[in-house]
Chains A and B, each alone.
Chain A
């Protein structure tokens, strides 16, 4: 079945780096744009980044621009989010999500991975 599984979350000190991974299965990964979305504890959803199906374009939220890098390996059906210079306000559940077959929506979501930035 169509599935996204995130991994790589954990507790990290401010200023350090962490890389999240998202394993995709059950669909043709290399034809879909992919996104990262995060949710701070008790808060709403925040769109973080998008990468085009072929990796040719990447866009970021202002809150993470210059610190986070989205990437993908279509040969491995994997999506990544490299997070540098982490701050306390980056503490959140991070979801990877797939563009829906219909335009303008995220049709498939992973279960999320928790990142805690704390001294």
Chain B
């Protein structure tokens, strides 16, 4: 089973700042099948990034994903107030279970 670790656990930033979230896998993720989701309070998760770096339909271009193998990053270039959420990574490696990371909570100052 691939274990995902996300850091930091929580961060608080001001609008306009650049945000960098990390997701590290315990072993290499096949085909870089690493997805990022955004979950706002009281809502279901929403897909932001798939294949480590491809934006899903409707994802604003201030969100970008990068990385490969075991180290992946989600970057928000300019934080907006509506980006208040918890961000999860999920791996779709070679076989189930398709584990999630523990999440990073982004607070707006």
Which A residues lie at the B interface, using CB under 8 A?
A: 35, 37, 44-47, 50, 59-62, 95, 100, 102-107, 109-112
Contacts and interface: CB of A to CB of B under 8 A. Distances in A.
Interface stretch (B17-25, B66-74, B76-84, B97-105): B97-105
A103 B100 contact: no
Contact of A102 (B37, B54, B101, B103): B54
B97 A107 contact: no
A102 B44 contact: no
Contacts of A45: 37, 39, 45, 88, 90, 100, 103
B44 A112 contact: yes
Contacts, number: 76
A101 B47 CA distance: 12
A109 B43 CA distance: 10
- Looking at A106, A107, A112, the one whose CB has the most chain B CB atoms below 10 A away is A106
Contacts of B50: 100, 102-105, 107
Leading 3 A-B pairs by shortest Cβ distance: A104-B33, A105-B50, A104-B92
B26 to A, nearest CB: 15
